[in-house]
Structure 1
Amino acid sequence: MKHLISVIIPIYKVEKYLKQCIDSILNQTYKHIEIILVDDGSPDKCGKICDEYANKDNRIRVIHKSNGGLSDARNCGIKIARGDYIIFVDSDDYINEEMCEKLLFYAITYKVDIVSCNFSYVYNNQLKENNMSINEKIFFDSGRNILKKYFFDYSVDLNVVWNKIYKKELFFISEKIFFPKGKYYEDNFTVYKLYNKAKKVILLNEVLYYYVKREDAITSKFTLKHLNDSLEYIKDYYIYSNNKDNDIKNIMQIAALKQYLNLYKIRNLNNKMFNLLKLERTFILEKSKGLIENPYRNFKIIKNYILLKYNIWEYYIKIRNK
């Protein structure tokens, strides 16, 4: 296999974890890779560490840029990537030494656009299995059917961007796909579009990625910005489906309504948040017209839509949460 893989690593304030991450990529059994280290204006020694590694291995390319956030850093990597395939690795995580080789093997052998592997959480250096995975060792399907699993089958974790290999052309054919700058939940704006473009996808039930739960990580409260960005990616579903076929419009209509209703279920929403949700109610109801004819609707979604339409949903949720 002579295909070049571009491994893109966005970097910000991860001095403690960065070397383990880079080492795990340098030690890959598949050697024909380029490693793009995007120093996103990190105020610690990350930039220096990147340059030290670049001096040791000519497969490493370093970008030093002003801080623009995770999405902006990933986008910078995508734009300069020379590879036929792209893998994203977060800079506080690390990967199995065979990840590149195995994901590329399945991509080439079965001529698929995306291969997704399983992952483990790492707590204090202890591995914990990810329960949201397929039962089969290998699961094949079309990108459109994987998109349906992504939105309608919550037993499978398909949302994250970093446990996959992508054919690079997916980001550029027909329309360019980049991560939204300055938004929370950047994967929610992006991954579904890649699935929709993919002709064929493989889900591989083998742990090849290690997601590190950092000791110094601060658990973010759900803020007004979190809520606003959540509403933004819901609107993005409608925007994306505007010029698409009826099937994708039907999928996105159900997905958007379900996501909107789920926002009400978040604990500890304050009055400002409820008011923001209510401001979007008319928009969501307008976009949900024809729901009864949508082949992906079910009794539950129709029931919840009726509760929303007649101003009962908010009170129903408040009572249920008591």
Structure 2
Amino acid sequence: MSHPVVSVTVPVYNTSKYLRTCLDSLRMQTLKDIEYILVDDGSTDDSGLICDEYARTDSRFRVIHQKNGGLASARQTGLQQALGEYIIVCDSDDWAEPHMYENLYLTARNHDADIVTCGYYSEYSDGRSLKKQVFFKEKDGVVDFFDFLHRGAGSSWVKLIRKSLYERTNSTYEIGINFSEDALIIYKLLKGRPKIVQIPAYLYHYRRLYGGASYTNSIRMSYVFQLQFTYNWLKKNYTAAEYRPVIRQKAIEIAVVCLHVIDLDELYLRKFMSSELKWTTIVRGRLSLKSIMVCFEKIFPLCVARTILKTVYPFVYRYR
């Protein structure tokens, strides 16, 4: 199969516990003209062997074994190897509905879309399965660009993207940026002003894992610096006044993330908020729980703000 219509790239690192569920869901896809690029990013468990097993029995699976380089490196390898007209990511601990990629591709083809997005299920270890979808503003069936820029960055696994959009915007993953890498690549792609379509369907299952050493469970300053890399890129490349609300929101998100950081550099946080989140900047925007938390960060000592977060904010953040 030399020219599949869809390439699904799967970064794999030490997910042997969940990997078969993921790969079985790919093997059962109703879209047949498809390829799966499994990038084993230096796994030290049985993940690499499982990938090889699926490749031996199904020619649609290709395996690339590489030295561990992080999530962005694995995604970039998959992107470089993809042959399909459209590309999408699937995380190796998640799984997809059998008709997911057929639905996305047919929608893309029928609307000549550059990006097609859908909804997903957040799957929790206690058995809850919650539907999640951002419904963007539309005009004549096409997603509003500014609404998508403001609310659509991230979650590459529910965005089917035309390969030529990567090429004409010269968009690549930033090696070493493994926290917010989804947002950064979407910001880059949006520089090409793509045609975006959404479908009201929940087609992906996102496994929410708590505990362990995942980024979202043990956030460190190194991850905050990666967030600021994306923030700085956004400020540099979206300079018009119309983009200021997006940039403001990203600054707020960095400040809120700092409340979770294990090894927080408080001097960094104070400097960041002083330069990027002045009172005039905060009050001009829409009031939200995150902006309220930033106000507490500016008014009270950090220990007080953390106490408020622990008693109020986790219930919103954990189950959103």
Residue identity matched to 1:85: Y
**Contact 1:137–1:206, Cα closer than 8 Å, also in 2:** no
**Using a 3 Å threshold, how does the CA distance of structure 1 residues 165 and 268 change in structure 2: closer, same or farther?**
closer
**Contact 1:17–1:93, Cα closer than 8 Å, also in 2:** yes
The CA deviation at 1:42 is 0.2
Residue identity matched to 1:233: T
The CA deviation at 1:33 is 0.6
Aligned to 2:313: none
Aligned to 1:173: 168
SS of structure 1 residue aligned to 2:74 = helix
SS of structure 1 residue aligned to 2:170 = coil
Measure the CA separation in 1 of the matches of 2:212 and 2:185: 24
Which of 221, 245, 249 is the matching residue for 1:258? 249
**Contact 1:117–1:204, Cα closer than 8 Å, also in 2:** yes
- Render the CA deviation track for 1:164-197: whole Å, top value 9, x for unaligned: 2110111110433324424322112222332342
**Using a 3 Å threshold, how does the CA distance of structure 1 residues 99 and 217 change in structure 2: closer, same or farther?**
farther
SS of structure 2 residue aligned to 1:221 = coil
Residue identity matched to 2:222: K
- Render the CA deviation track for 1:88-137: whole Å, top value 9, x for unaligned: 10001010000011000110001111111110022248351234533999
Which of 269, 277, 283 is the matching residue for 1:277? 269
Residue identity matched to 2:142: D
Measure the CA separation in 2 of the matches of 1:181 and 1:143: 31
Aligned to 1:41: 42
Aligned to 2:237: 240
> For this pair of structures, how many residues does the alignment match?
296
1:300 aligns with 2:284: yes
**Using a 3 Å threshold, how does the CA distance of structure 1 residues 312 and 38 change in structure 2: closer, same or farther?**
closer
The CA deviation at 1:271 is 9.2
SS of structure 2 residue aligned to 1:90 = coil
Residue identity matched to 2:251: Y
1:147 aligns with 2:139: no
Measure the CA separation in 2 of the matches of 1:66 and 1:37: 14
SS of structure 1 residue aligned to 2:16 = coil
- Render the CA deviation track for 1:122-170: whole Å, top value 9, x for unaligned: 22483512345339999933462343441xxxxxx65211112110111
Measure the CA separation in 2 of the matches of 1:173 and 1:135: 25
Which of 206, 219, 226 is the matching residue for 1:229? 226
1:163 aligns with 2:155: no
Aligned to 1:153: none
Residue identity matched to 1:199: P
Measure the CA separation in 2 of the matches of 1:212 and 1:145: 29
The CA deviation at 1:4 is 1.6
Q: Which of 75-84 and 166-175 deviates more?
A: 166-175
Measure the CA separation in 1 of the matches of 2:69 and 2:51: 18
Residue identity matched to 2:182: D
Structure 2, unpaired ranges of 5+: 288-294, 309-320
**Using a 3 Å threshold, how does the CA distance of structure 1 residues 198 and 26 change in structure 2: closer, same or farther?**
farther
Residue identity matched to 1:176: S
**Using a 3 Å threshold, how does the CA distance of structure 1 residues 30 and 235 change in structure 2: closer, same or farther?**
same
Give TM-score, length-normalised by structure 1. 0.78
1:314 aligns with 2:314: no
Residue identity matched to 1:117: C
Aligned to 1:183: 178
**Using a 3 Å threshold, how does the CA distance of structure 1 residues 128 and 139 change in structure 2: closer, same or farther?**
farther
**Using a 3 Å threshold, how does the CA distance of structure 1 residues 275 and 200 change in structure 2: closer, same or farther?**
same
The CA deviation at 1:227 is 2.1
**Using a 3 Å threshold, how does the CA distance of structure 1 residues 139 and 250 change in structure 2: closer, same or farther?**
same
**Contact 2:71–2:178, Cα closer than 8 Å, also in 1:** no
**Using a 3 Å threshold, how does the CA distance of structure 1 residues 105 and 312 change in structure 2: closer, same or farther?**
closer
**Contact 2:9–2:75, Cα closer than 8 Å, also in 1:** yes
Aligned to 2:290: none
Measure the CA separation in 2 of the matches of 1:8 and 1:312: 41
Measure the CA separation in 1 of the matches of 2:139 and 2:105: 14
Aligned to 1:207: 202
Measure the CA separation in 1 of the matches of 2:128 and 2:262: 36
The CA deviation at 1:224 is 1.4
Aligned to 1:129: 130
